[in-house]
Structure 1
Amino acid sequence: MLKEDTFKKAQDGDLKSVEEICSSTWEAVYRFIYYKVQNRQEAEDITQETYVKALSHLQKNSVKIEQYTGFLKTVALNILRDKWRKKKRRGTNVNIEAIDAEKTAIEDETEASAQRELIRNALDRLNEEQRMVVELRILKGYSVAETARIIKKKESTVRVLQYRALQTLASILKNND
């Protein structure tokens, strides 16, 4: 937990305090942004831009400590909205000659829907622990340590559960082909 004097020092330009604020809040902010953009590179860029804007605001104004992570998420969301608005106004540049018609052909929506249903059914056939590990590790992107803490198991157990779950999923999906 950050102390109030850390914020006061950061407002005065103390780099150590700024670093402490960033290191204690970056993970929550990055996850929030990544959830919105689903792109690692873009999430990293926006996270960095969020801290630049938030820290310059911190030096000009005051933000309550309890709300600092929420404040950072609001700054990030505003940056995202600005980017989306600009993209919407500009549109997307497309070089028609560079498009490979075979690669960009629209996939049949019923086939994609059938594949999602097949994967959903395969996940349902896993035991509860394996399904939870797959959801946390692969779908939500948690680390082994975070997953172990959430499901109250050892890290080695999480690795084994993930390995076995993926083996079972591969087998189920292979048999459905």
Structure 2
Amino acid sequence: MMDKPTFEEIYLSCYDRVYKIVYMRILDRENTEDIVQEVFIKAMNAYERFDPEIASPSTWLSRIAANSVTDYLRKNAKQDIISFDEYVESGYETGVEDKELLNLTDENARYAYTILKDLKDSERELLMLRYGMELSYGEIAEHIGSNEKAIAKRMERLLEKCKKIAEEQINT
């Protein structure tokens, strides 16, 4: 039988992963921080029911995070994230900078943000499931009701799209 880690140990070991999972979908630090706080409050309230024999703390919190993001997006469906091109085409001044981008100081984070910003939410969700939650193609297929080969093909096309966006950024 596995020893159950304390909630503090779970928090300290999993905070960064939970933050990454949420941010990959939301792309806004303030809302991400609120959702992550909500994730850990939910986890703390459900800690007595957590069984390390059934799931690792990371998997348990990843599921809570994914569900919390889905709830947030449903509540805020009117405020869809739009790509920079759509933003410019909608008549806003191009001189207005993206507030979230201005807050990112790490060059790699800025680079990743600009790529993620150009993706649809469903594409960011797929990346979050694969790289944030570290699910296999089979697990992703089960999660979204598809098959493994279809997911592998979608991921291949999505990574190509990300590569194309990155190349366009380099060339501008």
Q: Normalization by structure 1: what TM-score?
A: 0.44
Higher relative CO (Cα under 8 Å, sequence separation at least 6) belongs to 2
Higher helix share: 1
